Amino acid sequence: MTMLPKTTKKKLGLVTDLDICVGCHACAVNCKEWNTGGHSAPLTDLNAYGKDPNGVWFNRVHVYETDDGENTRTVNFPRSCLHCETPDCVTVCPTGASYKREEDGIVLVDAEKCIGCKLCSWACPYGAREYDEDDGIMKKCTLCIDRIYNENIPEAEREPACVITCPARARHFGDLGDPESDISKLVEKRGGFALMPETGYQPVNRYLPPRPRKVDVGDTGAPAQLEPAEEAKSSSAFFNWLDKALSR
Amino acid sequence: MDPAYSVIIFTSSSGAGYGLLIWLALARLTGAWEIGPVAAVVACLVALALVTTGLLSSTFHLGHPERAWRAMTQWRSSWLSREGVFAVLVYPAALVFTAGWIWDAVSPALMMAAALATLVLSLITVYCTSMIYASLKTIPRWSNGFVPPVYLIFALASGGLLFAVLLGAAGAADMSAMVLLLVVLLAAWLIKWYYWRFIDEQKVESDPGTATGLGHLGKVTQLEAPHTSENYLLKEMGFQVARRHATKLRRYALLLGMVVPAVLLIVAGNLAGAAQIATLIAALLIGLGGVIVERWLFFAEARHLVTLFYGRTV
């Protein structure tokens, strides 16, 4: 059913901290690893060992440079489905294969109904959907629906693969619809933001901005200016003579 | 956007087919042109063949064509689904309309009703096709008020060139008919001209700064791509055509689609018999060439917001 639910009971989503993401691609790799055996399996790779490898990934890590004329910064930027509240990728679907779950807000594709028309990928500005040429259907991030509700794995591991693997703990998972949840408080505290809000799709996922950089030495707690150390002199006249002779 | 042959053939072929059906229905409803029943039936079948070719071509690019029937189910939210529903609804009306020219079992009243239904349903179908594109906010060059009128009038103009050949064969291609079809043709390309001007001057609110939310830190450029070779997103939505090539192709489209057929229509208005029919067939073939170039540009010049993540502008 491609009509959107009016509200969802939860708004499960991800928060990515751009201040501490080190761009290691572990989230992308673990996403691929889990999901190629999960709900949307397989995440097909074509020509994987050739010169032009091409495959389905739910998570891609970009690296951007920002330049304000004086200072530049490098920002690592993982990009995946934002599980929007009003996604066009769902409403344009002619078959009902794309849907948004009323219980938790997760946007999914029913592999049995998808005809592979690709229109949903045209309707998404975030590049969240990738077509599997081999399966002839569209695939996308499931928010690891087969992990977060999976009673066969320890409770502590019931988080999306990208979150649980992040060595810098730059990714967080939770209910962004509950203002009292840890993740909502984190977004509140750090001024989390949505991507391309002007398009009106109301993404659930949030990104935490890089913290302001300490540009002046004084801001870092170091002395603003360094004094030269006093020249060390040996008490031995012989060594002073030797030092002078060798320094010549 | 990737100018895939499937969608170019789909939109131009079905557009011309629906356009011809609309002209035939108008001919029946108004009685303005003397067309023999056999010629009319042949024209109806040609129109339906073009429509069917277009629809089949659009199913060729599906990953699972055997599930295509499912595309009729989500008409409440999806323009693609609505297009499918109306494309199917046209058939019974158009088949009754086709048969009615030569089959006495179709009463005059039923024939008029079938002609009216064919006219209205064809217009709605072409409108739905246009809205598949015009409803995509992710592609600013499609998501604007020009796209539905362009699709509708191009269906009428290209269907009109087919209709002109029919009129020639029926010996009804007089100057007044040619001038009417010429006016529609010129109007189509005039609107297209304004569309091109519009997209050249269009300002898009989104840029790499709003896409990444890093705009407050300064100008955002991509330092390192997430993958080493082209992925699905860049193949499907990252197609780029050089500005100078696009300008050249627009000129070819205008020359083939408008200038040559316009001249040939006027020439044909002064001819009769085989020479007239040959001239009108030339106008049709060259004109359709122009429409195909125009449709190729419609896809190739469209830029998708996802490319902002790859450091491009739209």
Using an 8 Å CB-CB cutoff, list chain A residues near B61: 117-118
Tokens read off for B103: 């089959």
Contact B222 A62 (CB under 8 A): yes
Q: Which of A108, A90, A87 is nearest to A38 (CA)?
A: A108
Contact B210 A94 (CB under 8 A): no
pLDDT of A40 strictly over 80? yes
* Partner-chain residue, chosen from B64, B212, B218, that has the shortest CB–CB distance to A68: B218
Three-state secondary structure call for residue A152: coil
Three-state secondary structure call for residue A239: helix
Give residue B184's pLDDT.
98
CA distance A115 to chain B (A): 5
Helix (H) or strand (E) holding A243: helix A237-247
pLDDT of A104 strictly over 70? yes
| CA–CA distances in Å: residue B152 to residues A102, B16, B19, B156, B178 | 38, 10, 8, 6, 20
Cβ contact A53:A46 at 8 Å = yes
Top residue of B73, B75, B77 to mutate, by most chain A CBs within 10 Å, is: B77
Per DSSP, what are the bridge partners of residue A13? A174
- Give A238's pLDDT tier (boundaries 50, 70, 90): confident
Written as one string, the DSSP assignment of chain B is: ----HHHHHHHHHHHHHHHHHHHHHHHHHH--S---HHHHHHHHHHHHHHHHHHHHHHHHT-S-GGGGGGGGTTTTT-HHHHHHHHHHHHHHHHHHHHHHTT-TTS-HHHHHHHHHHHHHHHHHHHHHHHHHHHT-TT-TTTSSTTHHHHHHHHHHHHHHHHHHHHHHHTT---HHHHHHHHHHHHHHHHHHHHHHHHHHH---S--HHHHHT-GGGSEEEEEE-SSSS--HHHHHH-----HHHHHHHHHHHHIIIIIHHHHHHHHHHT--HHHHHHHHHHHHHHHHHHHHHHHHHHHHT---GGGGGGT---
Compute the distance between CA of residue B213 and CA of residue B215 in angstroms, rounded to an integer. Answer: 6
CA distance A181 to chain B (A): 23
Residues 184-203 of B with CB under 8 A from A: none
CB pairs under 8 A between A and B: 206
Contact A63 B70 (CB under 8 A): no
- Give A90's pLDDT tier (boundaries 50, 70, 90): very high
| Residue carrying structure tokens 């067309």 | B35
Look over chain A and give the mean of its residue pLDDT values, rounded to a whole number: 94
Using an 8 Å CB-CB cutoff, list chain B residues near A127: 233, 237, 306, 309
Give residue A38's pLDDT.
92
Using an 8 Å CB-CB cutoff, list chain A residues near B310: 62
Please tell me if residue B232 touches chain A, with a CB cutoff of 8 Å: yes
Three-state secondary structure call for residue A211: coil
- Give A217's pLDDT tier (boundaries 50, 70, 90): confident
Phi and psi torsions of B144, nearest 5°: -150, 170
Per DSSP, what are the bridge partners of residue A129? A140
Compute the distance between CA of residue A96 and CA of residue B53 in angstroms, rounded to an integer. Answer: 26
Say which amino acid occupies B75.
W
Give residue A1's pLDDT.
63
Contact A135 B210 (CB under 8 A): no
CA distance A97 to chain B (A): 9
CA distance B20 to chain A (A): 27
DSSP state of A103: T
C-alpha R_g of chain A: 25
Whole-number percent of chain A with pLDDT over 70: 98
In degrees, to the nearest 5, what angle opens at C-alpha A26 toward C-alphas A208 and A197? 30
Please tell me if residue B224 touches chain A, with a CB cutoff of 8 Å: yes
Compute the distance between CA of residue A120 and CA of residue A94 in angstroms, rounded to an integer. Answer: 9
| Residue carrying structure tokens 């009673």 | A151
| Bridging pattern class, strands A72-79 and A60-67 | antiparallel
* Partner-chain residue, chosen from A64, A92, A136, that has the shortest CB–CB distance to B222: A64
Whole-number percent of chain A with pLDDT over 90: 82
Contact B84 A94 (CB under 8 A): yes
Please tell me if residue B233 touches chain A, with a CB cutoff of 8 Å: yes
Give residue B243's pLDDT.
84
Residue-by-residue pLDDT tens, chain B, 314 positions:
999 998 999 999 999 999 999 999 999 999 999 899 999 999 999 999 999 999 999 988 899 999 999 999 999 999 999 999 999 999 999 999 999 999 999 999 999 999 999 999 999 999 999 999 999 999 999 999 999 999 999 999 999 999 999 999 999 999 999 999 999 999 999 999 999 999 999 999 999 999 999 999 999 999 999 999 999 999 999 999 888 899 999 999 999 999 999 999 999 999 999 999 999 999 999 999 999 999 999 999 999 999 999 999 88
Three-state secondary structure call for residue A133: coil
CA atoms within 13 A on the CB side of B125: 30
ipTM at complex level: 0.94
* Partner-chain residue, chosen from B206, B224, B229, that has the shortest CB–CB distance to A63: B224
Helix (H) or strand (E) holding A137: strand A137-140
* Partner-chain residue, chosen from B63, B223, B308, that has the shortest CB–CB distance to A63: B223
Contact A94 B71 (CB under 8 A): yes
Contact A117 B76 (CB under 8 A): no
| Residue carrying structure tokens 């992710």 | B138
Contact B63 A92 (CB under 8 A): no
Decide: pTM greater than 0.95: no
Compute the distance between CA of residue A111 and CA of residue A90 in angstroms, rounded to an integer. Answer: 14
Cβ contact B139:A122 at 8 Å = yes
Three-state secondary structure call for residue A172: strand
* Partner-chain residue, chosen from A66, A88, A113, that has the shortest CB–CB distance to B214: A66
Please tell me if residue B204 touches chain A, with a CB cutoff of 8 Å: no
Compute the distance between CA of residue B73 and CA of residue A7 in angstroms, rounded to an integer. Answer: 23
Q: Which of A64, A19, A69, A15 is nearest to A213 (CA)?
A: A19
pLDDT of A216 strictly over 80? no
DSSP state of A18: T
Q: CA of B6: which chain A residue's CA is closest?
A: A117
Count the Cβ atoms, other than its own, within 10 Å of residue A19.
Answer: 16
Q: CA of B234: which chain A residue's CA is closest?
A: A127
Using an 8 Å CB-CB cutoff, list chain A residues near B1: 122
User: How much is the average pLDDT of A141-152?
Assistant: 97
Compute the distance between CA of residue A165 and CA of residue A186 in angstroms, rounded to an integer. Answer: 19
Q: CA of A23: which chain B residue's CA is closest?
A: B226
Helix (H) or strand (E) holding A130: strand A129-132
